[in-house]
Structure 1
Amino acid sequence: MCAKSKSIYNVLTRWRDFRLKLLFEGILIGLLSGILVVMFRLLLEKAELLREKLYALMHVTSPLLTVMWFIALVLISYILSFIVRKEPMAGGSGIPQVKGILMGKLKMNWLRVIIGKFIGGVMAIGAGLSLGREGPSVQLGAAVGQGVSRLLGRLRIEEKYLITCGSSAGLAAAFNAPLAGAIFALEELHKNFSPVVLTSAVAASLTADLVTQQFFGQKPIFDFSILPTLPIKYYFYLISLGVIIGILGVVFNWFLIRTLQIYSKLTWLPDQLKPAIPLLAGGILGFVLPEALGGGNNLINALGQVRYSLLMLVLLLVVKFLFTMVSYGSGVPGGIFLPMLVIGALAGDIYGNVVVQYLHMNPQYIGNFVVFAMAAYFTSVVKAPVTGSILIMEMTGSFSHLFALVTVSMTAYIVSDVLKSKPVYDILLERSLKRRKMAVDLPEDSNKCISEISVCVGSTLSGKRIRDIEWPPHCLLVGIRRGEAELIPRGDTRIYSGDCLIVLSDDSHVMQIRSTLYLITGNVTI
């Protein structure tokens, strides 16, 4: 038996020890990811403060400073293009890239990604582009997870768990939301429930959040902590909000892909100058509508404290939406996570003002619709209702509104599902793979992947012997967890509802195998 095969064998035969080791490695990755994302956030804050001071100076000084600023924006465009050209995985959000890595369809050089994403993200968002820090933070955390795996000489089986830990830690540190970070790993990255992923991701997320709290305090990201509880009599408005936001989320996905297509057709424009389009547009917005610049964290907080006119809210919504499209379409490092929440918040504020003015709802509940619309918009675009609800609950500190958040999120999810809208990160990943001219199924390689799949009540597998089941090709059932007991599968072993199947497969077949097993075990992928 070769050394690599022996190592895989040891993992499978000592599964309980493997899970415990992942827990401690998750803590280590959470610590390192938390420190890296804290540095990222601190530099972004400094860059945004510098930008605000610069615009204040340009309003009172000679036009020469303005000319120099626009020249600097063109130079930033060249630098960002250079970063993306040298390391393509550093461009864009980062979340589709992480999903591709976990699926075995993409490969990442962890050190180059950390350097490129960190520097590029600070420059792009700091210069005023409507991009978020959260996608880059997820990818930075994933790169830390891969780096720890490579430096410690871990197997590829273990590496994917560590990448997931880093992704969870990155989101937790970016949003001060440890629970959402762990749920994000299950619902969006893996799209199934795995106890191993859950425990290690929770360890990483909590550790990263503790690091973040040391620098940014324990307050939630958004200041909506005194929201009153929405009365049941207003839940009709909540349902209609979910329907409207669900439609707007589908529009977001459609426009985003169309924008990317338009950029790809600008063959007459050098790649080095494509980021200059949003950068120069942002330079103009800095004079006429500075609220639209950057990710938009301050704008969301302002919505909870200031009552904008309906006309101003509509203007902000349209400009923020279009500027986000143009910014992300350029392909520079930066995500759509936070701008997406800003657009949802603005739409919720508009909806709340309309309901107050024309349907005479109590105006004290407008802030509720701002918060609920963020969760609904995230759900409609990403199609991850649990993550959306928990994320907004943690970010706002509004823990008494979970029922309302779930209600509006599920409504938006159903609407987007009826309209056959795909999750935005899946769309972006699929588009990225097509541009790289990669087939749907990669050639077989020697990397192995472990999947944990639960047998649901009512599954056709329940009560059957292993030898009587038609298993998908290219996979091997290597273990069964029944409660706390771990069984070695044999031909006459029977499978029952509640069992957790541990399946070994090649990277190149893992998604096809999981889809087949979800079907026969009675799972509905989340």
Structure 2
Amino acid sequence: MMQGEQPYTPVRQARFVIVALFAGALTGIFGGLFHVAAESLVFWPAWLGRHLDGWALVVACSLVTMAATLFAAWLTRRYASEAGGSGVPEIEGSIEGLREVRWQRVLPVKFTAGVAAIGSGLVLGREGPTIHMGGSAALAAADLCKVDGVDRRALLAAGAAAGLACAFNAPMSAVLFVIEETRRQFPYSFRTYMGVFAAAIAGTTVTELISGLRPFMFIETSRAALGALPAFALLGLLLGVVGVLFNHGILRMLDLAAAMQRRVPYLWPALVGLAIGALLTLAPQTVTGGERVIAELVVATPAFSVLLFLAVARFFTSVVSYSAGTPGGIFAPLLTLATCIGLAFGMAFDMAVPGLLRSLEVTPVSFGVVAMAALFSASVRAPAVGIVLVVELTGAYALTLPMLAACLASSLVAEWLGGRPIYEQMLERTLKQAGVVPPAEVQPEAGLTADAGLRRSKGA
């Protein structure tokens, strides 16, 4: 408690939790409607396919996706530039006092442009928009209920957690997301921690009432023998490298898109839309967020060569789609990319040592599930969130120990290679573009806090 601040009595604590429930419910409304709207657009390529075929279908899909991508990029840049991309760095920066969340603009822009981008087939996840909308809805609740100071920052984080819970029906991973991902910014106390629980519960409940019970990614797995742990750790080593490359690819592609935007505005999102739209017909498993692709791969696992092709293709379509400047997250694309790599690794291991996996009661699908958590850990550097998120999504509780081994290996390799958490790098990039001094670059002897750094950047 800050000096001069009134003590938090049980009544005031209860009031804060009630406001957090309200913020979570608001998030659930936006998250549920967002999911319904995005899902309603998933099958438009199939509808076009009933009326067109051949190259006419390819051209039509390309034009539709290009138009949707351009619309989403224009709407974002015109009315709320901070609504582009995931939104997680914006939330973290706001909790730290370095960014401002203009919720009146972010909510409508993130919703509309996000539905257009994700529904068009771009390789983006819905968790980024729902996290950003969750934080924005929490600020709306804070303004309505006259909440400020530390409680306002805590509500922002709680709303973001509710947004993640809404996206994947994963309330426990949402709570851990605040603990791991915003550990540097979140104002911890019993009151604020309970607020995160309340928002996650309310957000998940309201979303289920609107869009139904999810996820549809349940994957049946069995407990792997202890002798298989070295194989899962080896997979983690590989994914540690992939995670660093993925983060590097995202940042470099964002730089390329920014340079092209300065030269020829909106050319880059137009090109991205054309390419992704064509792939919707020519190679549909290489595009879209990927939840349905994961379900298809684990049921009917394709050949090893096909999995390698999908892994390489989805790596590039993911980083390219994110650079278009539209709202969208990276969680779902990361999980799908990891599934392709994990399944391919399991097949390769089985071919290299025939019969060993069967004796250890392990299948390639087990490697695909474990890979999701390992790649998430290498990129986001939040292993506990990755493990719990995958378990809540797939129901693969039996693979918790292999996930721990793979996440340990992937996180260590990513660290040793000099990789850094993707959202931390995105936030620093955004702050530098805005002329704000990132906390890590403020000299200790100057005695500047994060707020002081923001004021100094504004010429205060």
TM over 0.5: yes
- 2:68 is matched by which residue type in structure 1? I
Deviations 1:174-221 (A, max 9, x none): 011000001101110234765333211111111212223334544544
Match for residue 223 of structure 1?
Answer: 218
Q: Distance in 2 between matches of 1:111 and 1:268?
A: 27
In structure 2, C-alpha distance between the alignment counterparts of 1:232 and 1:441, rounded to whole Å:
43
**Match status 1:201 vs 2:196:** yes
Deviation at 1:107, TM superposition (A): 0.5
Cα deviation, residue 30, structure 1? 1.3
Once the two structures are TM-superposed, the CA of residue 43 in structure 1 deviates from its matched residue by 0.6
What's the CA shift for 1:440? 2.9
Higher helix share: 2
Check conservation: 2:221, 2:398, Cα contact below 8 A.
no
| Shift of residue 441, structure 1, vs aligned partner | 5.8
> CA 1:508 to 1:287, structure 2 compared with 1: closer, same or farther past 3 Å?
same
Q: Secondary structure at the match of 1:331?
A: coil
Equivalents in 2 of 1:408, 1:47: separation in Å?
36
- TM-superposed CA distance for 1:406, in Å, is 1.8
Show CA shifts across 1:365-406 (max 9, x none). Answer: 211111100000000000001111111111111223222222
Q: Unpaired runs of 5+ in structure 2?
A: 441-445, 455-460
Partner of 1:467: none
1:36 and 2:30 aligned: yes
8 Å CA contact 1:131–1:295 kept in 2: the answer is yes
Q: How much does 1:24 deviate?
A: 1.6
The residue aligned with 2:133 is 140
Contact 1:28–1:204 (CA under 8 A) maintained in structure 2:
yes
Alignment-mate amino acid for residue 30 of structure 1: G
Letter in 2 for 1:79: F
**1:20-419 residue pairs with structure 2 within 5 A?**
20-59=14-53, 63=56, 67=59, 69-85=61-77, 86-191=79-184, 194-218=189-213, 220-224=215-219, 226-266=220-260, 269-360=263-354, 361-362=357-358, 365-419=363-417
Aligned to 1:478: none
Q: What is the deviation of 1:227?
A: 0.4
The answer on whether the counterparts of 1:55 and 1:286 sit within 8 Å (CA) in structure 2 is no
Deviations 1:36-91 (A, max 9, x none): 1010001110011223322453327x93x665554444433432232122211111
Alignment gaps of 5+ in structure 1:
1-6, 443-471, 475-504, 511-526
- Cα distance, 1:302 vs structure 2: 1.3
Distance 1:40 1:386 in 2: 27
**CA–CA distance in structure 1, aligned partners of residues 191 and 369 of structure 2:** 32
Kindly indicate whether the alpha-carbon contact (under 8 Å) linking 1:171 and 1:181 is maintained by their aligned counterparts in 2.
yes
3-state SS of 2:273 partner: helix
- SS of 1:227's equivalent in the other structure is coil
Which residue is equivalent to 1:445? none
Aligned residues: 443
Residues 204-213 or 358-367, more deviating = 358-367
Residue of structure 1 aligned with 2:428, choices 408, 419, 430: 430
Q: Tell me, what secondary structure is at the counterpart of 1:275?
A: helix
Amino acid at match of 2:191: V
Q: TM-score, normalised by structure 1?
A: 0.79
User: Aligned partner of 1:271: which letter?
Assistant: P
Distance 1:10 1:201, change over 3 A: same
Match of 1:190, SS state, is: coil
Alpha-carbon RMSD: 2.5
Which residue type is aligned with residue 404 of structure 1?
P
Report the structure number with the largest CA radius of gyration. Answer: 1
1:106: Cα distance to partner? 0.5
Q: Which whole-Å CA distance do the structure 1 matches of 2:66 and 2:226 have between them? A: 53
Alignment of 1:441-460 (within 5 A): none
Question: Does the 8 A contact of 2:225 with 2:362 survive in 1?
Answer: no
Distance (Å, rounded) in 2 between the aligned partners of 1:266 and 1:509: 30
- Give the equivalent residue in structure 2 for 1:483: none
**1:231-257: per-residue Cα shift (whole Å, max 9, x none)?**
111111011011111111111111111
- In 2, the alpha carbon distance for the partners of 1:155 and 1:8 equals 13
Cα offset for 1:297?
0.4
Give the stretch that moved more between structures: 116-125 or 148-157.
Answer: 148-157
Secondary structure at the aligned position of 2:121 is classed as: coil
Is this contact kept in 2: 1:176–1:209, CA < 8 A?
Answer: yes
Q: Is the 8 A contact 2:45 2:61 kept in 1?
A: no
Structure-2 change in CA distance of 1:271 and 1:77 (3 Å)? farther
1:180–1:221 Cα change, 3 Å: farther
Cα gap change, 1:205/1:383 in structure 2, threshold over 3 Å: closer, same or farther? same
**Secondary structure, counterpart of 1:266 in structure 2:** helix
For 1:286, give the aligned amino acid: L
The worse-fitting range, judged by mean Cα deviation, of 368-377 and 253-262 is 253-262
- Relative to structure 1, the CA distance from residue 12 to residue 400 in structure 2 (aligned partners, 3 Å threshold; closer, same or farther) is farther
**Matches of 1:268 and 1:16 in 2, distance apart?**
54
Q: 1:380 is matched by which residue type in structure 2?
A: A
1:401-460, CA deviations, whole angstroms, 9 ceiling, x for partnerless residues? 222222211221111111121100000110111111222369xxxxxxxxxxxxxxxxxx
| 1:413 alignment partner, SS class | helix
Q: TM-score, normalised by structure 2?
A: 0.90
Mapped to 1, the partners of 2:368 and 2:121 lie a distance apart of 24
